[in-house]
Structure 1
């Protein structure tokens, strides 16, 4: 078993939002990127791990499983509980890895015993996968989950 230190996550889009925000480093602010179709909302806070880079060239994406909703720019310490290895196909047909990491805030009370995806109800993972499939379809992209990975492997992927 490896020693997994907490990661810092910066929230871009809060749980329950139908607006997608992205951090714009050049402007040093969060910018409204898109409005989701009626009925489609982010099931949990969505953000990124600073000083990392994913297959899409952006910082690594994180879904923060929590009982609360925060705000764009909220910074929190989280423990990694797993990841979805993902293949994303753009509108132009190009394909890249764009994995989604799952984490729980260190301060969470409801999810305080969740240390791995195995501790989550299967419905939560299915809901997340379906959300991202629908979200990408709306943008003319394809989102394919290749594999679910547990906490230690996800942590190693972040630190690689």
Structure 2
């Protein structure tokens, strides 16, 4: 599969969550994370897609670098967490999280599938998403962890 473009909303290490506001055509501060919590990698979206929450598909970019809001990165998809998210109102939606590696990455150049990552990183990513979403009074359940091929099929 050819690389996909990912637009970064929130950079690695940030304790602020940013969202792209299509109406304003800019990145807007959405919320601040609690003390001690920060994004482990760049987080963004795949343009011209739509997830279960109505927003573009979410992507965490596994990389040795951190970028900036609005940065567009050519990436290869390496996997996905199929996620069921339940809000305080009890309403449940699908809100999957895809994972990608920049084509220019040196440290992760051999990572072609999520299973190529250390299990500790994968578990930490799941914990991050659960803790992050709980700050909004929501619950997150990872229904399944899938590799590169099924993740690519889900995008297309």
TM-score by length of 2: 0.99
Provide the residue aligned with 2:110 in structure 1.
Answer: 113
- 1:102 aligned to 96, 99, 102, which one? 99
Cα shift readout 1:47-98 (whole Å, capped 9, x = no counterpart): 0000000000000000000000000000010000000000000121100100
**Per-residue deviation at 1:139?**
0.8
| 2:139 matches 1:146 | no
Task: List gaps (5 residues or longer) in structure 2.
Answer: none
Q: Which runs of 5 or more structure 1 residues have no equivalent in the other structure?
A: none
Q: CA RMSD in A?
A: 0.4
Q: Secondary structure at the match of 2:63?
A: coil
> In the aligned structure 2, how far is the partner of 1:149 from the partner of 1:157?
10
Q: Which residue of 2 is the match for residue 35 of structure 1? A: 32
Q: Which runs of 4+ in 1 moved over 3 A?
A: none
1:59 equivalent in structure 2 = 56
Aligned to 1:155: 152
Q: Which residue of 2 aligns with 1:16?
A: 13
Question: What secondary structure, in the 3-state scheme, does the structure 1 residue paired with 2:36 have?
Answer: coil
CA shift, 1:5, in A, is 1.2
Give the Cα–Cα distance (whole angstroms) in 2 for the partners of residues 88 and 119 of structure 1.
26
> Structure 1 residue 119: deviation in Å?
0.6
- Aligned pair partner of 2:68 in 50, 66, 71: 71
> How many matched pairs?
156
